[in-house]
Chain A
Amino acid sequence: MHTCSLVSICVLLGLVVRWGVSLNSYSGAGKPPMFGDYEAQRHWQEVTYNLPPQEWYFNTTENDLNYWGLDYPPLTAYHSLICAYVANSINPEWVELHKSRGYESPMHKLFMRATVLVADLMIFIPAVVLYCLYLTDGSSKKKVSTLFCFLLYPGLILIDYGHFQYNGVSLGFTLWGVLALGLGWDALGSVAFCLALNYKQMELYHALPFFCYLLGKSVKLGLMGLFLLMRIASTVLVTFALCWLPFLSGSGYAMQVVRRIFPVARGLFEVQCLTSSLSFLWCA
Chain B
Amino acid sequence: YVTVMAAADSWSWFPALALGVSLLKCLFINAYHSTDFEVHRNWLAITHSLPVSRWYHENSSAWTLDYPPLFAWLELGLARAAQHFDSNMLRVENLNYVSQNTLLFQRLSVVFTDLLFIYAARECCRCVQEPKGPRDVLSRPSFVLAVLLLWNFGLLIVDHIHFQYNGFMFGFLLLSVAKHLQHKHLQGALLFSVLLNLKHIYLYVAPAYGVYLLRSYCFTQDHSGGSVSWRSFRPLRLLALGSIVASVCALSFGPFIAMGQLPQVLSRLFPFKRGLCHAYWAPNAWALYNVLDKSLALLGVRLKLLEEAELPRASMTGGLVQEFQHSVLPSVTPSVTLVCTLLSILPALASIWRRPRGARGFLRCLLLCALGSFMFGWHVHEKAVLLAILPLSFLAVESREDAGIFLVLTTTGHYSLFPLLFTPAELPIKVFLMLMFTIYSFTALRKLHSGPVLRPLESAYLLGLGVVALACEAAFPLSPWRHKLPFLPLLATSVYCSVGVCYSFLRLYASLLRQEEKHKQL
Contacts and interface: CB of A to CB of B under 8 A. Distances in A.
Contacts of A16: 24, 428-429, 432-433, 436
B346 to A, nearest CB: 41
Nearest to A152: B20
B429 A106 contact: no
Interface string B110-141: 00000000000000000000000000001100
Given A1-B139, A23-B425, 19 more contacts: A2-B443, A5-B439, A5-B440, A5-B442, A5-B443, A9-B439, A12-B432, A12-B439, A16-B428, A16-B429, A16-B436, A17-B27, A19-B428, A19-B429, A20-B24, A20-B27, A20-B31, A23-B30, A107-B424
Contacts of A19: 428-429, 432
Nearest to B429: A19
For the side of the interface on A, what is the size category?
A: 10 to 19
Contacts of A23: 27-28, 30-31, 425
Summarize B's interface: helix, strand, loop or mixed.
helix
Contacts of B435: 8, 12
B436 A9 contact: yes
B54 interface: no
Contacts of B436: 9, 12-13, 16
A117 interface: yes
B297 interface: no
Contact of B428 (A1, A5, A117): A117
For the side of the interface on B, what is the size category?
A: 20 to 34
A97 interface: no
Given A8-B439, A9-B439, A20 B429 contact: yes
A5 B435 CA distance: 11
A66 interface: no
B447 interface: yes
The 5 closest A-B pairs by CB, nearest first: A20-B27, A5-B443, A12-B436, A16-B432, A19-B428
B444 interface: yes
Contacts of B27: 17, 20-21, 23
Interface in B17-31: 24, 27-28, 30-31
A23 B28 CA distance: 8
A159 to B, nearest CB: 16
B348 to A, nearest CB: 34
A48 B461 CA distance: 48
Given A1-B138, A12-B435, A106-B425, A20 B443 contact: no
Interface of A: 1-2, 5, 8-9, 12-13, 15-17, 19-21, 23-24, 106-107, 110, 117
Given A12-B435, A23-B425, A1 B24 contact: no
B13 to A, nearest CB: 13
A153 to B, nearest CB: 14
A20 B432 CA distance: 11
A54 B433 CA distance: 45
B466 to A, nearest CB: 15
Nearest to A15: B432
Contacts of A12: 432-433, 435-436, 439
A110 B425 CA distance: 6
B28 A15 contact: no
A102 B189 CA distance: 60
B180 to A, nearest CB: 31
A14 to B, nearest CB: 9
A245 to B, nearest CB: 36
Interface in B418-441: 424-425, 428-429, 432-433, 435-436, 439-440
Interface string B1-43: 0000000000000000000000010011011000000000000
A179 to B, nearest CB: 25
